[in-house]
Chains A and B, each alone.
Chain A
Amino acid sequence: MNWETLGLSELRQSLDDKKVSSTELTNYFLGRIKKQNPELNAFITITEEEALAQAKAADDFINTPGENPTLCGIPYAAKDLFCTAGIRSTAASKILDNYIPPYDSTVIAKLKEQKTVLLGKTNMDEFAHGSSGETSSYGATKNPWDTSRMPGGSSSGSASSVAARLNPWALGSETGGSIRQPASLTGVSGWKPTYGRVSRYGVIAMCSSTDSPGALAGSVQDLAMIAEVISGQDPKDSTTGAMEVPAYFSQLTADIKGLKIGIPDEYFIDGMEDGVKQSVYEGIKELEKLGAKLVRVSLPNTKYGSLVYAIVAPSEISSNLARYDGIRYGHVTGEAKDLLEVYSKSRDEGFGDEAKRRILTGTYVLSAGYYDAYYKKAQKVRRLILNEFEDVFKKVDVLAAPSSPNTALSLGGASKDPLFGYIADQLNIPSSLAGLPAVSIPCGFSTSLSQGIPLPVGLQIMGPQWSEQKVFNVGYAFQQATDWHKKRPLL
């Protein structure tokens, strides 16, 4: 049986019917990881021993009478910025190379309660700073559609491993495109939750006002199943919302007749890849065929999103990364003469280029004399962006647009450009700054960039805060009518 071709609800059924055990599934996917990971570099740590122990516990549970939790016995992988008790969690940074968290992040704890099986920790841009996977201290992740290309980032290993079906699904996180963009570039479905829908507790912090832990999987149906499990208020993260978590999965409906879908002009930018534009237009036409009403809308402040982000994100980063001081955990220098040098040398040795650039940028714009001109100004323009979305959602139910202006670029392109991420993520950042939920779904292929090698294109659906169900329904309806999400790379 090719277990990698099944969705989560089919895996659930197979486990419940005892057609396969969790141990068999776990060995099967570990086998795929061992075979493909040397080429893809999607994993930083493979947790074989722990996975087999968790699979055994899941099998024992399944073999006792009673209902099994939704994800019980199903293997998955987690981006390496989710803290996992007893398993090293590096955030792909040398400064955390030896860090073994003494606790689980809330999301990991919820998945443990379900008796899921963690196969390993996936590669990513260092501290999630990047959109290519190339800023990782553990080497770049490769895109399984063409291994000379990047999978996008920062959830690069999660996207690459799900695309190659090394694991049925993976945890990722988005701060400004880090789920949607790699999902788009690798042809998988990705969910960026409403800010505060999923707890940030134990998720190594980048930009706390937009960090949103989420997931990447083979379909929107799978994402809805995962969302039900990992969402919810958490006393350990005071920014999580009190709203109840709907039964996203059982309430999925492919009936989107009469739903108003806004198509924002500003998301079809100059210089956009032709093949992307074409596939996205066709995807939108498909939604119209399904009965949705298309409404042309304008969001003129879109162009300021990345500029606001280029100030707000580094500001929060410079503050969040101040904790790495070589005293309580993480890398410590062997060269220090005094306490100040312990800090400054440990940090210089431990952080990569991109992290340093963002720490310095943040420190600069927050420093005395510059705070009003940069940080305060950016947070006011952010208000304009929030207001603009609020207004547009009075007219339409959701927005549809390309997830990324281009398909996967060749490896090596990102590392030299200090603005790479801000430009790559310009179609994701505004909604991230506004805390909106979104999914990215595969909607076709483009050959504009590559000599004939088809590369996946993503269509994103964005909704008002807390409108996950609506966003999932649109993606689900699309995937009931098309089979782009079922296409697999040849490996």
Chain B
Amino acid sequence: MLTAEEVLKIAGLARLELRPDEVKKFQKELSTVLDYVADLQKVDTEGLEIVSSVTGLENVQRLDVPVVAENRDQIMENAPEIKDGFYKVKAIL
């Protein structure tokens, strides 16, 4: 089973503040998932390339031309807090 510290560490990386009961629950459940995938280690994958694109497309490019977004107001309306047309966030430093 994963330790509480391990769960708290990944929760921190994932920016999830877990309640104490959630930490306990995920210690158990993440271990269940990791046990479930353990059999993959037995598969011989020598010389195989990882899959990065299933259909074989590579480096699809387009011209880098700026376009004007006409829906700035609708975009900003979804923000919990704005000030003077900017997103407002808490102090960073």
Chain A contacts to B: CB under 8 angstroms: 85-86, 98-100, 102-103, 194-196, 209-210, 235, 238-239, 241, 301, 304, 307-308, 310-311, 314, 318, 322, 325-330, 332, 336, 338-345, 347-348, 351, 356-357, 359-361, 363-364, 367, 373-374, 376-384, 386, 418-419, 422, 433-435, 465
Contact = CB atoms under 8 A, between A and B. Distances in A.
A328 B40 contact: no
B81 to A, nearest CB: 8
B55 A239 contact: yes
Which 9 pairs show the lowest CB-CB distances between chains A and B?
A102-B74, A435-B54, A329-B78, A344-B17, A379-B50, A380-B45, A238-B60, A332-B80, A343-B15
A357 B10 contact: no
A351 B60 CA distance: 33
Given A102-B71, A326-B80, A348-B19, A363 B13 contact: yes
B10 A367 contact: yes
Query: Majority SS of interface residues in chain B?
Result: loop
Given A332-B80, A357-B30, A419-B33, A377 B74 contact: no
A329 to B, nearest CB: 4
Contact of A100 (B15, B32, B77): B77
A196 B33 contact: no
B19 A383 contact: no
Contact of A339 (B19, B36, B89): B89
Most chain B C-beta atoms within 10 Å of own C-beta, residue among A102, A340, A359, A367: A102
B57 interface: yes
A381 B78 CA distance: 41
12 contacts: A86-B74, A99-B78, A307-B40, A314-B33, A328-B87, A344-B15, A347-B15, A348-B19, A360-B10, A367-B10, A377-B43, A383-B50
A196 B16 contact: no
Query: Majority SS of interface residues in chain A?
Result: helix
A35 to B, nearest CB: 33
Contact of A241 (B6, B49, B57): B57
Given A304-B40, A377-B40, A345 B17 contact: yes
Nearest to A99: B78
A476 B70 CA distance: 44
Most chain A C-beta atoms within 10 Å of own C-beta, residue among B52, B60, B92: B60
Given A196-B55, A383-B49, A360 B30 contact: yes
B78 A102 contact: yes
B68 interface: no
Given A310-B36, A348-B19, A363-B10, 9 more contacts: A304-B39, A304-B43, A329-B79, A360-B26, A377-B40, A378-B37, A381-B45, A383-B51, A386-B54
Nearest to A342: B90
Contact of B16 (A85, A360, A379, A381): A360
A359 B16 contact: yes
B62 interface: yes
Interface string B43-69: 101001111111101001010000000
B5 interface: no
A85 B7 CA distance: 38
B1 interface: no
B29 to A, nearest CB: 4
B85 to A, nearest CB: 14
B78 to A, nearest CB: 4
B22 interface: yes
A343 B19 CA distance: 15
Given A304-B40, A344-B15, A367-B10, A382 B51 contact: yes
Nearest to B80: A332
A419 B13 contact: no
A159 B39 CA distance: 34
Contacts of A364: 6, 10, 30, 34
B84 to A, nearest CB: 16
A434 B56 CA distance: 11
Given A360-B30, A383-B48, A384-B43, A209 B54 contact: yes
Contact of A380 (B18, B48, B75, B77): B48
